[in-house]
Amino acid sequence: MTDNPTLRIETLQEFKITGLLTLFRNALHDDFDGMTRIPQVWEKLHERENEIENISPGFAYGVMMGEENGLTKYVAGFATKADFVAPEEMIDILIPEGLWAIFTHRGSLENLQDSNLYAYEEWLPNSEYEMRMSPHIEFYSPK
């Protein structure tokens, strides 16, 4: 287990992410396939990242967008300008302005789930905040 992630509460302005969508069965299902599907979509995105204009190398977003027919929607992508149009087979997601709890995970991706569990199962239920209906965002940056 890793140390608990650091936390800050911050208002973020609206921004757009362009990327590739995948659907997976979450950990509540016996046939959970997120640990396969998510790395696959990241690999496909990196093969096509030259199609997305003005990205900052090493900076990327993973976005959980709720469920559809029992499958979790996940987008791997990059922040893009408002007027950028997603290439074929990619989608644009508008992340709304709002107050966000930002957790900084330290360590390997193998331990990322520990930070997620802390945020959702320990911190949130014991905080003064409530989760709103909006995408859940992972932000990846160079070390």
The mean pLDDT of 72-100, rounded to a whole number, is 94
More confident residue, 13 or 1: 13
For 111-138, the pLDDT digits (tens) are 877 888 888 889 999 999 998 888 888 8
Average predicted confidence (pLDDT) for the chain: 87
**pLDDT tens-digit series, residues 54-79:** 887 778 999 988 888 878 899 999 99
Phi, psi of 73 (to 5 degrees): -95, 130
C-alpha distances out from residue 77 to 118, 139, 142, Å: 24, 10, 15
User: Average pLDDT in the 5-17 region?
Assistant: 91
Q: Tell which phi-psi region holds residue 117, choosing left (phi > 0), alpha (psi between -120 and 50) or beta.
A: alpha
How big is the chain, counted in residues? 143
Band (pLDDT 50/70/90 cuts) for residue 143 is: low
CA distance 39 to 27: 15
- The H or E element that residue 115 is part of is helix 112-117
pLDDT on residue 2: 53
The predicted structure's pLDDT at residue 30 = 73
pLDDT of residue 94: 94
User: For residues 143 and 106, what is the distance between their CA atoms, to the nearest angstrom?
Assistant: 9
Strand stretches in the chain, DSSP E: 6-12, 15-24, 60-68, 71-80, 91-95, 98-104, 136-140
